[in-house]
């Protein structure tokens, strides 16, 4: 009898050690400018909304690239923090990194949905006429437990190119010319 009890206790302890307290399920990315959802790890049948995968997507030439996201977690705890991370690369060189907190949105069956559709412009301040890649991954943390959705450590990677630097319009050029003329006259008259 003692051996059976000992075996059952060991089995419970071993089972508890393998139990994961939380997981990140479906993930989606949102592009604010085009009002379009992209799949991370989520299904393409998600209401027909996220037909395209973010991984491998080319956004083309952009003035700004504002990304938000959504994940589902199994953990419904109030103290869970869901985050979307991003890193922008020019070739192999990391240019900028950041994170976006995903506030709690709703419960879907036994899952919690975390979502941020405001997003962050990941192309802000980047060099014009340059090609970049943006890598995105997610996590959910509760206490000391953190779970990740990172496309098997490859992240979800899309590409884009920043648009051409704007050329000053004629009115601006005229004002600059008038200012330069005024400075030249002032110098000449002060001598």
- Domain-located, residue 67: yes
Please tell me the predicted confidence (pLDDT) of residue 175: 77
Question: Given a cut of 50, is residue 36 above it in pLDDT?
Answer: yes
Percent of the chain with pLDDT over 70: 81
Please tell me the predicted confidence (pLDDT) of residue 125: 94
- Domain-located, residue 12: no
> Which tens digits make up the pLDDT trace of 104-138?
888 776 778 888 999 999 999 999 999 999 999 99
- Domain-located, residue 171: no
- Domain-located, residue 190: no
Please tell me the predicted confidence (pLDDT) of residue 168: 67
Helices (H), 65-169: none
Query: In terms of residue numbers, what domain contains 28?
Result: 23-165
Question: Given a cut of 50, is residue 15 above it in pLDDT?
Answer: no
At 18, is the pLDDT very low, low, confident or very high (cuts 50, 70, 90)?
Answer: very low
Q: Write out the two tokens for 55.
A: 């991984």
> Which tens digits make up the pLDDT trace of 41-70?
887 766 567 788 999 999 999 999 999 999
Domain count for the chain, please give it.
1
- Domain-located, residue 161: yes
- Domain-located, residue 112: yes
Give the residue with greater pLDDT, 77 vs 13. 77
Give the residue with greater pLDDT, 65 vs 20. 65
- Neighbour tally for 82: CB within 10 Å: 28
CATH code, domain carrying 87: 2.70.50
- Domain-located, residue 14: no
Please tell me the predicted confidence (pLDDT) of residue 25: 78
- Domain-located, residue 102: yes
Please tell me the predicted confidence (pLDDT) of residue 189: 84
Q: Cα(27)–Cα(136) distance, rounded to whole angstroms? A: 11
Give the 3-state secondary structure percentages of the chain, helix then strand then coil, rounded to 5. 20, 45, 35
Picking from 102, 78, 135, the residue whose alpha carbon sits closest to that of residue 26 is: 102
């Amino acid at each position: 009898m003692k051996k059976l009890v000992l075996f059952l206790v060991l089995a419970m302890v071993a089972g508890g050690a393998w139990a994961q307290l939380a997981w990140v399920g479906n993930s989606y990315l949102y592009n604010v400018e085009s009002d379009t959802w992209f799949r991370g790890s989520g299904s393409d049948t998600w209401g027909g909304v996220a037909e395209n995968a973010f991984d491998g997507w080319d956004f083309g030439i952009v003035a700004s690239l504002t990304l938000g996201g959504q994940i589902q977690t199994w953990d419904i705890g109030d103290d869970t923090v869901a985050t979307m991370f991003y890193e922008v690369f020019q070739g192999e060189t990391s240019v900028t990194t950041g994170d976006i907190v995903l506030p709690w949105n709703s419960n879907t069956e036994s899952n919690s949905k975390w979502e941020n559709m405001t997003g962050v412009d990941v192309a802000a301040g980047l060099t014009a006429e340059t090609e970049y890649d943006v890598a995105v991954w997610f996590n959910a943390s509760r206490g000391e437990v953190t779970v990740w959705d990172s496309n098997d450590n490859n992240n979800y990677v899309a590409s884009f190119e920043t648009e051409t630097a704007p050329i000053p319009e004629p009115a601006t050029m005229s004002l600059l010319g008038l200012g330069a003329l005024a400075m030249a006259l002032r110098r000449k008259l002060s001598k």
